[in-house]
Structure 1
Amino acid sequence: MTEAFSYRDDPKVPDFPDDRPLFVFDGYCVLCSTGVSWLMKYGGDCVRYASAQSPLGAALFDHYRVDPDKTYLLIADGNASGESTGYLRLCRLLGGFWKLFLVFGLIPRPLRDWAYRVVARNRYGWFGKVEQCALLSAEQRARMLG
């Protein structure tokens, strides 16, 4: 997408702790918020979270020139990824039993990304839409950046 850690030089991107990966997701999407809630509960503390609707999330989507209606952002080691590759990268970062999901990496990327785009395009119709991060507990919302 762009050079590693390039967001540090972008005055539009608020400073944030980038010592751990950051997962920026659609806070209105029921599927996305439920998934993040689950990750917060079972994925440990090795990843930070921000919603795409937060000032930080919006600035990062703008910086990387990515449409937040089409994918999420996983920023790790200063580099951003999304769609199916981002999820495989996330599983690698989480380690443990999450590495079992790396088997999906055997599926050719164009097919994985096509399936991802079908779900992303239909997520509100299939799963619903709520107020930003409404499905996260108060404790989980407190863990959010930005």
Structure 2
Amino acid sequence: MNSILFYDGDCGFCQKSVQFVLKHEKKPIFKFAPLQGEVAAKLLPANITQNLDSVVVYQDGKMLTESNAILFITKNLNFPFLFFFIFKIIPSPIRDYFYRIISKNRYKFTNSGKMCKISDENVKKRFLN
């Protein structure tokens, strides 16, 4: 079952996070799309695509945002990163509080907003507009 991971396409930190997921996922279950793209405009509510402060995982008509999206992603990563799923025991409002701190400062973590070049054709097919 494929999930779409929506990310801020103008954010270098977010793009590096996508590259991290590509490198460490157990199976290639994710497709990737920028929150500023056409797919996001069709599938997500306007308040999500205009806000851009949350990674979004979309699967079977359901959306996960903020820390719940991150936990879903970590659950699908290789060892040792899948162990971050243990943070599920922390109540969502507390996890989301820390997520928002990182989200609001994400542009400070990287210098570039330019998309990383992807040469593998199989990986390119997983990126949606």
**Shorter-chain TM-score tier:** 0.7 to 0.9
Q: How many residues align?
A: 124
Which stretch has the larger CA shift, 70-79 or 96-105?
96-105
* Identity of matched residues, %: 24
Q: Which runs of 4+ in 1 moved over 4 A?
A: none
TM-score by length of 2: 0.80
Match of 1:88 in 2: 71
Match of 1:36 in 2: 18
The runs of 5 or more residues in structure 1 that have no matched partner are 1-18
CA change 1:95–1:130 in 2 (3 A) is closer
Q: What is the CA distance between 1:27 and its match in structure 2?
A: 1.3
Q: Distance in 1 between matches of 2:77 and 2:23?
A: 15
Query: Letter of the aligned partner of 1:28 in structure 2?
Result: D
Task: Let me know the Cα RMSD of the aligned residues.
Answer: 2.2
Query: Letter of the aligned partner of 2:116 in structure 1?
Result: L
Q: Distance in 2 between matches of 1:64 and 1:77?
A: 19
TM-score by length of 1: 0.72
Secondary structure of 1:143's match? coil
Contact 2:24 2:78 in 1 (8 A): no
Answer yes or no: is 1:20 the counterpart of 2:5.
no
